[in-house]
């Protein structure tokens, strides 16, 4: 059984990835909800070409985009 990271661990991972990747347009994008990499997109991929991107929030992975959409309805 996999151990699920807590919110603090996820926030730390997101902050670390943000700092590491912000100046590298070829780096993989990551999900702002779970912190997992989003292999479909690079940091430099224009937001108009993405699915799961929310303006002023950031990129969601496929799983979290579905969860966020379901919770919004």
Residue 73 has pLDDT above 60, yes or no: no
Is 58 within a domain?
yes
Number of CB atoms found within 10 A of residue 45's CB: 16
Q: Which two tokens stand for residue 18?
A: 């943000």
**Residue-wise pLDDT tens digits, 36-64:** 999 999 999 999 999 999 999 999 999 99
Distance CA 54, CA 33 (A): 11
Is 2 within a domain?
no
Is 30 within a domain?
yes
Say which residue, 48 or 2, is predicted with more confidence.
48
Is 1 within a domain?
no
**Residue-wise pLDDT tens digits, 16-38:** 888 988 889 999 999 999 999 99
Closest CA to 38 of 51, 48, 57, 25: 51
The number of distinct structural domains making up the chain is: 1
Domain that holds residue 29: 7-72
Residue 69 has pLDDT above 80, yes or no: no
List beta partners, residue 38. Answer: 29
């Amino acid at each position: 059984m996999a151990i699920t990271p807590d919110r603090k661990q996820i926030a730390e991972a997101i902050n670390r990835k943000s700092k590491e990747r912000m100046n590298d347009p070829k780096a993989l994008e990551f999900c702002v909800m779970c912190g997992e990499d989003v292999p479909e997109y690079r940091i430099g991929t224009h937001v108009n070409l993405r699915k799961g991107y929310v303006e002023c929030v950031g990129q969601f992975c496929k799983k979290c985009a579905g969860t966020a959409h379901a919770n919004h309805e």
